[in-house]
Amino acid sequence: MANPNFIDYVKISCRSGAGGSGSWSLFRDKFNSKGGPDGGDGGDGGSVILKGNAQLWTLLHLKYKKHVICENGVNGGKGRKTGKKGADQILEVPLGTVAKDAETGEVLFEITEDGQTNVLLAGGRGGLGNWNFKSATNQTPRYAQPGEDGQESWRILELKVLADVGLVGFPNAGKSTLLSVVSAAKPAIADYPFTTLVPNLGIVKYRDYQSFVMADIPGIIEGASEGKGLGHRFLRHIERNSVLLFLIPADSDNIIKEYEVLVKELEQYNKEMLFKDRILAISKSDMLDEELTEELRNELPENVQTIFISSVTGQNIQTLKDALWKHLNK
């Protein structure tokens, strides 16, 4: 069953605040009946801002926040008083969040660091008061600038998991089992396809108290790059990974064909994925004897490092960690 707490896509309606109008005012008191202009500026309207929070791992808290509305700026006043700025709406999001324009699909920016802030929808600027327009030829300007209108637009937030290593494979390839063995993560494991429906992250401990992050990505199916199944939602999580670990079980009908299909799906989704480092791990290798292992090895692609592993017996698990660490630190 999918984890209902993991939400990696939300669409929200945003409305930024309008800027306050500048003030039209002339200074007057009992000693001065013809003072100069003293109208203050209007305050800026509030903006919708995204802020990175390393403690968050899902967009769940924004799932039901369909409308984000900011305050308008306050009008300027006499005595060159600037109007109060409208309050911003700051939305905290997990690292790896991508902001898009819902209408055009354009990527606006990405949040990748803790504390990083970016404006999702800017508020209107406050208008200038009439004292700004005083000049040698116009000593008493009797006009001021209105504030800019706020903006209203739909925005999409997508989460791409940040991890060093991404596990790539068809459903039921043993990805969740491997993650549970090399880390403290406890993903759902069962002997049927699509046990994993959301990404799972695990911290893999390495030698000398070092570590790296591994992501168990839900199983890819042929046609995923065209949106078949939940293809696009799964594939986007792999874009962030530094190293791709392809996992194919030893009892597969055709290992080389499965590998080629997986590579093809990644290429069709995003050709830049082909430039990432890859390792091919043959899982469930405890089922093979030496003769079968050598026979399979001769059939495997030569341009990628291949390691025969077993999550059940621990066969070559440390060798796999060493190879991943080497690729991560090239």
Question: What's the domain count of the chain?
Answer: 2
Backbone angles phi, psi at 92, to 5 degrees: -80, 135
Q: Any idea what the CATH number is for the domain that residue 92 is in?
A: 2.70.210.12
Cα-trace Rg, the chain: 29
Its domain, for residue 189, covers: 165-328
Instruction: Select the more confidently predicted residue: 26 or 240.
Output: 26
**pLDDT per position as a tens digit, 86-142:** 999 999 998 889 999 999 989 999 998 999 999 999 999 999 999 899 888 888 898
Q: Are residues 180 and 63 in the same domain?
A: no
**Which of 144, 159, 174 is where one domain is finished?**
159
Q: Tell me the three-class secondary structure of 227-294, residue by residue.
A: CCCCHHHHHHHHHHCCEEEEEEECCCCCHHHHHHHHHHHHHHHCHHHHHCEEEEEEECHHHCCHHHHH
Q: Are residues 215 and 129 in the same domain?
A: no
Q: Any idea what the CATH number is for the domain that residue 205 is in?
A: 3.40.50.300
Q: Which one-letter amino acid corresponds to residue 324? A: L
Residues 6+ apart with CB under 8 A from 170: 193, 219, 220, 221, 248, 258, 262
Reference 304, options 240, 249, 239, 256; nearest CA is 256
pLDDT of residue 4: 52
pLDDT of residue 299: 81
Contact 124, 16 (CB under 8 A): yes
**Which of 96, 131, 159 is where one domain is finished?**
159
How many CB atoms within 10 Å of residue 135? 7
Q: Are residues 32 and 107 in the same domain?
A: yes
| Greatest pairwise CA separation for the chain in angstroms | 107
Assess whether pLDDT exceeds 70 at residue 38.
Answer: yes
